[in-house]
Amino acid sequence: MPRSNARRPRPASSALGASAQSFDDKLLGITATPEVIAKGLEADAYQLGVSVYTWGYPLVRMEQVAREYTRVPSPRPPTGYRAPLNRIGWATALASPAAKDMPTANNDTFYMSAVVVLEQPYIFSVPDTHDRYYVVNVFNMWQELEHYVGRRTTGTRAARYAIVPPGWSGNLPSGVKRLDVTTRKVWLWGRLRIAQGEDVEPVLELQRQFRLRPLSGNESSPSLPELPAVGADEFGFLRLLAFALQSNEVKPVDAALFAQFARIGLTADGFDSSKLAPETRKGLLRGLADGPAVAIASTTSTASVRSGWSWVTGLDSFGFNYPLRALIAGPYLGGNGEYEAMYPTRFTDSKGEILNGRHRYVVRFEREPPVGAFWSLTMYDASTKMLVENPIGRYKVGTDTVGLRRATDGSLTIPIQAEAASGEDAANWLPAPKGDFYLTLRLYQPSEDVLSGRYTLPEVRRLD
């Protein structure tokens, strides 16, 4: 018989069939029993609860900051930087343990803050700082860094910038650089370098030359409505988020995600918990409770670890990493991207044990960090995230620390302990609290050696 050219059917055990059979498709065989429905409702609400927390936390946090940082105490402490809406506030002293506004505050720069309601463009004028380091970050209401103004990016000569709200069209004055932003409120968060022991008055005069004015020249006195009083409401976070969304549009790239939250009662019209099934309610509350842990855990996939130090990169562009954005908006509010400054942080010693003031430690720099501006190693109490009170009033060691002892080979050894240090490196003592603490190594304008990892960070060795 002649040979047939027809293809024979493949047996079910072919590669394609085996691959298809390897997937246990439970959806085809599941039955919609009350138990299955209840389990599904709770699981769905749980994952949506985690998502809505990590996505929405920065907006809630920034709306709180907008109100807290424009509520000016009387008298205002010298470390304070609060100012009324559309005004610049400057700290006139370096942060201390008494400064509670900013977690993990630096002890290197005077801070600046301005919350701006953009009913029109605002002209931000900066003076010639004659190469003195400064940076002003322009954050939108999602705690996303949209612009830098300062030494690294725009130089230190006098200049003017227009902060322009979404949808605005018009003419700007000659010589003004346009900075478009994506939300109708922004937060200007600045830092101006002052060295230890430096005469303060010239720096204060520089501060007075930073100016913020509406394009029209007509000053207004807007106010922000009070946030809802949520008290002990178990859904307080969602009620605050719903309120914040009334004045902050969902970004187009987030529209699909936001639409999912309707299943837990959050829509553009607000938050309504009245129709939530008991299982949905249970899962949602559990998801909201676990949201902070998910934000913290984002560092495992985003942080680089070098010689025991970890730092997070990507702060200039979070993309869809909502847990990381939430983390930065919380305990690391206002952080710079890695090209502006790097913040290697560590909670453990070289053996992986938690840093605690009952022990003595040492950090030895074979050579000081190669940076374009300056560096500092700062001590923080692990429970409060604040600077540590100590008898010599030293909260950091760094480029400008007076009286540091450097070895002839250029190395620098820093004793870290609660009790006063002794020995040849005692002048370099960085006081620690009695309990748990952590260290942040700030590297302002890090060099390529730092960014690439060619510069080796020092270990934290325990001595007892």
Q: What is the CATH number of the domain that holds 155?
A: 2.60.40.1610
**In terms of Cα–Cα distance, which of 57, 62, 54, 98 is closest to 80?**
98
CA gap 115, 145 in Å, rounded: 14
Q: Examine the domain organization and report whether 48 and 63 are in the same domain.
A: yes
Is residue 11 one of the residues assigned to a domain?
A: no
Domain end position, chosen among 179, 214, 249: 214
Is residue 241 one of the residues assigned to a domain?
A: yes
Is residue 429 one of the residues assigned to a domain?
A: yes
Is residue 19 one of the residues assigned to a domain?
A: no
Q: Cβ atoms within 10 A of the Cβ of 37, count?
A: 12
Confidence tier at 13 by pLDDT (50, 70, 90)? very low
Averaged pLDDT, 216-226: 89
**pLDDT of res. 4:** 46
**In terms of Cα–Cα distance, which of 115, 114, 142, 119 is closest to 248?**
142
Q: Is 193 exposed, middle or buried (0-12, 13-18, 19+ CB in 10 A)?
A: buried
Backbone angles phi, psi at 109, to 5 degrees: -140, 155
Question: Domain of 310: which CATH number?
Answer: 2.60.120.600
Confidence tier at 149 by pLDDT (50, 70, 90)? very high
Residue span of the structural domain in which 434 resides: 301-462
Q: Examine the domain organization and report whether 456 and 434 are in the same domain.
A: yes
Q: Examine the domain organization and report whether 271 and 307 are in the same domain.
A: no
Say what angle helices 236-245 and 34-68 make with each other, to 10 degrees: 60
Total domains present in the chain: 3
Q: Examine the domain organization and report whether 270 and 349 are in the same domain.
A: no
pLDDT tens track for 263-284: 999 999 999 999 999 999 999 9
CA gap 398, 96 in Å, rounded: 16
Q: Examine the domain organization and report whether 203 and 146 are in the same domain.
A: yes
Confidence tier at 101 by pLDDT (50, 70, 90)? confident
Q: What is the mean pLDDT of the chain?
A: 93
Q: Examine the domain organization and report whether 367 and 401 are in the same domain.
A: yes
pLDDT tens track for 375-420: 999 999 999 999 999 999 999 999 999 999 999 999 999 999 999 9
- The secondary structure of the chain in percent helix, strand, coil, rounded to multiples of 5, reads 25, 25, 50
Domain end position, chosen among 188, 214, 240: 214
CA gap 60, 46 in Å, rounded: 20
Q: Examine the domain organization and report whether 98 and 175 are in the same domain.
A: yes
Q: Examine the domain organization and report whether 81 and 66 are in the same domain.
A: no
Averaged pLDDT, 99-127: 93
Predicted TM-score (pTM) of the model is 0.90
- Are the CB atoms for 382 and 435 separated by under 8 Å? yes
Confidence tier at 286 by pLDDT (50, 70, 90)? very high
Q: 12 pLDDT exceeds 90? A: no
Is residue 106 one of the residues assigned to a domain?
A: yes
Confidence tier at 207 by pLDDT (50, 70, 90)? very high
Backbone angles phi, psi at 330, to 5 degrees: -90, -100
Q: Identify the DSSP state of 54.
A: H
Q: Examine the domain organization and report whether 269 and 146 are in the same domain.
A: no
Q: Examine the domain organization and report whether 371 and 405 are in the same domain.
A: yes
Q: 314 pLDDT exceeds 90? A: no
Is residue 410 one of the residues assigned to a domain?
A: yes
Q: Examine the domain organization and report whether 320 and 260 are in the same domain.
A: no
The residues with which 380 forms a beta bridge, in sequence order, are 387, 438
Is residue 9 one of the residues assigned to a domain?
A: no
Q: Examine the domain organization and report whether 142 and 180 are in the same domain.
A: yes
Question: In 3-state terms, what secondary structure has residue 378?
Answer: strand
**pLDDT of res. 19:** 54
Domain end position, chosen among 252, 276, 294: 294
- Are the CB atoms for 343 and 191 separated by under 8 Å? no
**In terms of Cα–Cα distance, which of 76, 71, 180 is closest to 122?**
180
Identify the residue with better confidence: 290 or 221. Answer: 290
Is residue 7 one of the residues assigned to a domain?
A: no
